[in-house]
């Protein structure tokens, strides 16, 4: 299972980003192999369509679940069409590690 978390920084101790398309970075986590990798968001400098471009990046990375604070309508539509599950967290998660643990413990909300 490959998950991607929107993040303000590039480590597991970074603050998670509540924005999807405009998040500065993404942390890709392989839950089966227990490893991770950080990526700069390729959509960060988009004038428009950042959510759709970020969604395409998720598809290219073969992500199964995306975790963020909020999805815009275009990102939601693109991710949904690609079959990628969307999970939201709130500001109570202070680090990317906390988001991962909350996900593992089924404490986050899946978006319909």
Question: Residue 17 carries which DSSP code?
Answer: P
Q: Report the 10 Å Cβ neighbour count for 97.
A: 18
Two tokens, residue 85: 């599950």
Q: What is the pLDDT of residues 11-60, one digit of tens each?
A: 999 999 999 999 999 999 999 999 999 999 998 887 888 888 999 999 99
d(CA 45, CA 21): 10
3-class secondary-structure state, position 86? strand
Element (H, E) at 106: none
Report in angstroms the alpha-carbon separations of 29 from 46, 55, 68: 25, 16, 14
Q: What percent of the chain has pLDDT over 90?
A: 87
Q: How far, in Å, CA of 66 to CA of 76, rounded? A: 11
Walk me through the domains of the chain, giving residue ranges and CATH numbers: 2-110 (3.30.420.130)
Per-residue confidence (pLDDT) for residue 48, from 0 to 100:
81
pLDDT of residue 50: 87
């Amino acid at each position: 299972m490959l998950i991607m978390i929107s993040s303000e920084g590039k480590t597991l101790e970074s603050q998670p980003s509540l924005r999807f398309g405009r998040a500065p970075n993404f942390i890709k986590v392989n839950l089966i192999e227990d490893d991770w990798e950080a990526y700069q968001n390729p959509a960060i400098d988009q004038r428009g369509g950042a959510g759709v471009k970020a969604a395409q990046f998720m598809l290219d990375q073969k992500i199964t679940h995306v975790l963020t604070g909020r999805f815009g309508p275009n990102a939601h539509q693109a991710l949904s069409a690609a079959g990628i599950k969307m999970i939201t967290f709130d500001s109570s998660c202070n680090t990317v590690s906390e988001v991962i643990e909350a996900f593992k413990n089924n404490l986050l909300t899946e978006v319909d």
